[in-house]
Amino acid sequence: MKLRVIYEDNKSGQRLLEGIKIRQHEAVWEEFTLEEKPYLAVCLKNGKSLFQRTINHPDAIKRCSDRENFLSVIKLNQINAGLEDPEASKIYEVLIFDMKIIFIRQRVGMRGSQKIRYLRENQKSRVAEIAKRVILLSGLDLALIKIQLNSKKRLQVIGAEPSPDLRDKDVESLLEEIDRLSNCQAREVKLGADPEFMIINHRSGKLVSASNFFPVNGLVGCDNIRLPNRQQRPVAELRPKPEKSPLQLVSNLRYALIRANGMAADKNVKWVAGSQPVPGYSIGGHVHFSNVELNAALLRALDNYLGLMVFMIEKPHTACKRRKKYGLLGEYRVKNYGGFEYRTPGSWLVSQKITTAVLCLAKVVASNYLQLSNNYLNLAEAQQAFYSGNREYFMKDFENIWHDLERCRLYSKYEEELEILRFMISNDLQWDEKKDIRKGWNLSTSSRRNNSRAALQNSRQGESVYESVPAPATDSSTISTSRSGERRPVSGRSGRSRRSNGSGSRRSVSRVENVSRNTVIISHQALPAAVPASVPPSRAVGPVGVRRAIMV
């Protein structure tokens, strides 16, 4: 990765420049003036990379020097911010580089008699969390964030210094981070998701708890939110297997929906998604990312090119209600598998086409975020428009945003799937939070277990049980193949086994046919050569969710 580091030409800036010159022999630099102050721009060349990332863009430095705009942006994101309180009991100074804490410095007492103590991140996790959000929202990548414990005993952001004075130890830490970042190798991004939906009685309109049908854990489960003073869990959640291909992830989501459809056998309910389809209950469409490093540039790209695009097709009224507590800009959560989940969008599970478009867009943005450096959410008025649901404010930028996406390497691969987003935004269309999402996925809403069983069989096994087994003949309404070679799930109804007139015997429609809910028969010819030798001749390993398999 090519890096361009911007730092004021002070003592710390000179020490940083000298350290980079020693470590990076091909580094070049120049001096320029910004806000009437001398600055250094140090460029680290990497011949293997085509794209450049700027650490502390000059525009972000200018915006942070505008104290009123800076504090307004922070307040809009529900973070306490204001002027320095002379009666503040403590001041925390947090040095951050690219979402990583370098140090937390605590100052206690009045000026002139302050006691200084350096802390680790886990000692002041709340302070660290606020500082990370502030640097992300400010547009900076490197800064000293100042947070005070004011006279009311509340943490309050009071400023950000893009070019602070540093100790030699801190300069060395920054040089190590710069080396790590410049040598970072790109890998193919893997996607996951845990979209939520809710169940309501379609006659009375009352909420039906998801825990009435689904367990807490599993492929189809319940979120941790509970009804007041009850043990019931109202929000359902899908947890499909992560995939590198967004189209395969959509297939996994469809499989999970079919499983859920068989579990919730009640013909008097409908399933709804969106931002807040049931008053008082906000739901999300969290997208998980792994094989990519969490950094400020990636999170800003997700805000500007994924979160903002989903914002443009949401219902503004319910989206604003949700963002009073959830779905803030740059909202993420680090996961124990080494990746993170992006939590800003509402639940895009409303239809298969919209789901496919959102996940393909997530893949494009996360894989090409270095090309997507424009920040359309950098001003206080832009963030005010976002939180108030003012779509018109961003329409003037939409063509530029989409043009940025078209220049990305993966855009042409998923252009067909992304078109629905462009069409909806251009024509001022929003998703329908009152519609049963099963209709948007072309799933039966009759709640007959046999229908769900047949749909499950076709959805899971139509994709081929084993990668090395030739796929059985499949109706064109179930699977279509793209020019890129990826298998694209299409929202046609699943095929079903037929019964002959009179005899009731069943006619086989494929080599892998459903016999009962948890059993499949697999023809001997269809088995891959790589079946383990430990498997007895009369048994074979079935697909996920199948407990028993019989060879014939």
Instruction: Say what the pLDDT of residue 112 is.
Output: 67
Is 75 a member of any domain?
A: no
Mark 424-445 as b/e (b = at least 16 C-beta within 10 Å). Answer: bbeeeebbbbebbbbbbbbbbb
Is 68 a member of any domain?
A: no
197/231 same-domain check:
yes
3 state DSSP class of 450: helix
218/177 same-domain check:
no
362/231 same-domain check:
yes
Please state, in angstroms and rounded to a whole number, the distance separating the CA atoms of residues 350 and 271. Answer: 9
Which CATH number does the domain housing residue 28 bear? 3.30.70
3 state DSSP class of 31: strand
Instruction: Say what the pLDDT of residue 49 is.
Output: 67
Domain boundary pick from 147, 162, 177: 162
339/223 same-domain check:
yes
Cα–Cα distances in angstroms (integers) from residue 429 to residues 137, 313, 400, 423, 424, in the given order: 29, 6, 19, 8, 5
- Global pTM value: 0.82
Cβ-based neighbours of 408, under 8 Å, separated by 6 or more: 364, 365, 367, 368, 371, 372
254/200 same-domain check:
yes
Is 112 a member of any domain?
A: yes
The number of angstroms, rounded, from the C-alpha of 364 to the middle of its chain's C-alpha atoms is: 12
Cβ-based neighbours of 85, under 8 Å, separated by 6 or more: 148, 150, 151, 156, 158
Nearest to 295 by CA among 405, 178, 123, 157: 178
Count of structural domains, the chain = 4
52/117 same-domain check:
no
Contact 143, 379 (CB under 8 A): no
Which CATH number does the domain housing residue 340 bear? 3.30.590
Treating both helix axes as pointing N-terminal to C-terminal, what angle do 391-406 and 352-367 enclose, rounded to 10 degrees? 60
Please state, in angstroms and rounded to a whole number, the distance separating the CA atoms of residues 202 and 434. Answer: 10
Q: pLDDT tens digits, residue range 321-354? A: 999 999 999 999 999 988 999 999 999 999 999 9
Which CATH number does the domain housing residue 124 bear? 3.30.470.20
Which segments of the chain have a pLDDT < 50? 448, 450-452, 454-455, 458-484, 492-552
Is 473 a member of any domain?
A: no
179/231 same-domain check:
no
Q: Going along 202-352, which residue ranges are E strands? A: 207-208, 220-222, 235-238, 269-272, 287-290, 332-334, 340-342
Instruction: Say what the pLDDT of residue 272 is.
Output: 97
3 state DSSP class of 201: strand
Is 509 a member of any domain?
A: yes
Reported as type and span, the H/E element at residue 97 is strand 90-97
Instruction: Say what the pLDDT of residue 226 is.
Output: 77
Please state, in angstroms and rounded to a whole number, the distance separating the CA atoms of residues 515 and 146. Answer: 65
Q: What are the φ and ψ backbone dihedral angles of 82, each rounded to 5 degrees?
A: 180, -165
Structure tokens at 6: 């911007």
Is 216 a member of any domain?
A: yes
Cβ-based neighbours of 260, under 8 Å, separated by 6 or more: 213, 214, 220, 236, 238
148/248 same-domain check:
no
Contact 61, 140 (CB under 8 A): yes
297/414 same-domain check:
yes
Cα–Cα distances in angstroms (integers) from residue 299 to residues 50, 174, 233, 319, 369, in the given order: 21, 21, 31, 20, 9
3 state DSSP class of 355: helix
Residue 12 is part of which domain span?
A: 1-56+167-185
Is 38 a member of any domain?
A: yes
Is 507 a member of any domain?
A: yes
309/391 same-domain check:
yes
Domain boundary pick from 392, 426, 460: 426
174/207 same-domain check:
no
Instruction: Say what the pLDDT of residue 477 is.
Output: 33
* Exposed/middle/buried for residue 121 (C-beta within 10 Å: 0-12, 13-18, 19+): middle
393/345 same-domain check:
yes
The number of angstroms, rounded, from the C-alpha of 302 to the middle of its chain's C-alpha atoms is: 7
Instruction: Say what the pLDDT of residue 487 is.
Output: 56
Q: What are the φ and ψ backbone dihedral angles of 237, each rounded to 5 degrees?
A: -145, 135
3 state DSSP class of 33: strand
